[in-house]
Chain A
Amino acid sequence: MSGVLLDSLAAWWPEVILSAGALVVLLTAVWSKRGQIPLILSWVTLGASAWALTQTGVSSNAPFFGLIVCDGFSLLFRWIALGSIAITLLMIMASQEVRASMRGEYLAILLLMGVGLMLMVEANHLLMAYLSIEFVSLSGYLLVGFPDNARAAEGALKYFLFGALASAVMLFGMSLLYGMTDALLFPELLQKIQPAAAAFPQGVLLAVILLLVGLAFKISMVPFHLWTPDAYEAAPMPVAALLSVAPKAAAFGLLIRFLSTLAPLWQDLYPIFSSLTILTMTLGNLVALAQTNIKRLLAYSTIAQAGYLLIGITAGTPIGVQALVLYLIAYLFMNFGAFACAVAVVEQTGSESLDAFRGLSTRAPVLAFACVLFLLSLAGIPPLFGFMGKFFLFGAALQAGQTLVAVAAVINSAIALYYYVNIMRLMFLQSAGEAQALQPVPALHLALGVCALATLFFGLFPSSVLSWLGPIRLVL
């Protein structure tokens, strides 16, 4: 018995370290309300967890009695989760807005959210899936609501209400699915879904759709995207950045795992996915066109990006999944980078309007340059990382015969160019006027540097990332 647990723990050390570190941070926070100690401890925790993650081998047997799996697929997502937390931490350090109300609790919740994120991609059991989603959601609501102002509270409330409904619907779907299959573990589910679907065709499909709603909500898939702009706008920028990347990535991981479990139903589900994929990117892009607030613009941009990511799922092939993961990694860097730029601008100008970017090339050349890099990468211009991701995604769609999706994606890329280039236009083509030069913030520049370097380097030399994707063998 304890042998099983010990074995299981061997694969789970990163999460254990993260949880323990979070508790320690929480404790120290009680003593030093505003000191640097919690922050340092957080970094130590993250470092230790990352180190543990490097030591974690890919195990084929599922730890904790099969409740979770620590395969190559989840390993990548765990890295994404850790990376997101780390970059968010950097941005928090740089953000005056957050530092003003930053407390140990904040950091602890952030670290614990990391545990939730990792669990999401490891989940191999309906309960674990639900639990981890709730874990991430609850910490998300709290992080959004943390700043001591009405806007944050309002955003948190909205986020909470939408999220609660979505997860409740999902739970209900899970209950129905269980009722028709008598299976809670994913492998078991995979075996029993076929007979169940034969016996209760409508019931199973309904259950699956209810179940997918929760995940669709997390990845801001249209029509479950409506919370996104409000929550991002309300949240402090670093948190918005985190929400735009980490839960989304984890939800994609879980979604893929779910769908590979429900593979026999894919034929029935894929029309939904292909149409919603097109809808998501189109709507995200079109609405982003009309935005004048940088946070909202980025929010809609992330919706559109989710649409691109969904292509990987729509394709339903191993290549598709690999492309999705590749794009997620790219997305991690470029989206965080874009948010980091926004943090720098919003923090120092106090304005969330796009006009705050005016003349940035003279006010903060390095920042502007990095920002261009991220925007171009988001727009999918080679040789940046984002392009590589898109290249694979489009290729996967074509390979799967989803020409319509690929064409829609291409048209959307052209539309999206408008609002990305619009920011570039403001930064470089417009004169700064009265606006002040920006002061460089070291932590932020570190975050920017890391993201920019990754965006450029992996764009030029993607083969290393591609080799990480090799182990992914999930098929929908």
Chain B
Amino acid sequence: MKIIGLIITIVTGAFLVYAAADFPAWADPNSPASTYLSPYFIENSMKDTSVPNFVTSLLADYRGFDTMFETTVIFTAGLVCFILLRISGRKEPETSHYRHVLTGVTVTLKEGRKIPASEDFERIDDLWTPPDLIIKTGCRLMIPFIQLFGLYVIAHGHSSPGGGFQGGVILGASIILLAISHDLRTALERMREKVVAILCPVGVAIYAGTGTLCLLLGVNFLDYSALASVLHVDPIAARSHGIFMVEIGVGIAVMTTMIWIYNNISSAGKYNQGL
């Protein structure tokens, strides 16, 4: 196998090197890629969409259709992880352990009995390790700021690096951080599985819905300029707003998907205390 791999690799590599001979040199301002289409985007982005960040305008407007499916890919990934891993309708184990938070005494209950949810007791599993107080507290402090920053990144995508994907990932990371620093159950209390699973399609649906709204308003799919009539602004500003709407959708979808994938993979679909 190794030999075959080596041969294939060398042959392919040699072929690619051979092909690279005709490529323009690195950072050549006159390469076709830099002279054919990109000038149009750079020069007209402001005029067409009044979005200073060309990447954003290109991402969400000129090639907004790609981006919609990109978001769908994310959603698909979350769904596949769920459908592959989630163990549904699984009954509780016979013995369950609860830990008294203040004293640290662990109670073990048989025949699947439960302790009514209270502040003093936390449910733990066999592979429970004592959590580090510093990490817990530190993360608790950081998480709100992380989320705030995530919102900023989404909102400010128009005129600075950022946008729905980046902001969404940051938001998702905040919840995942909670799950890592405490345990999955704590995170799930903040954000239930059902909420995640419904918000995720909703996020993408916001994107597609915006496009469909334009379609219903009588122009082509994703042609935000039609929103002008709804938002009572000029078509160019309408495009900018349309881009913002879809960015929000992207943000929601990406955040929830990140959480969804983490929940399923970290607990192998059992949704116990996780890592």
A binds B: no
A-contacting residues of B (Cβ < 8 Å)? none
B-contacting residues of A (Cβ < 8 Å)? none
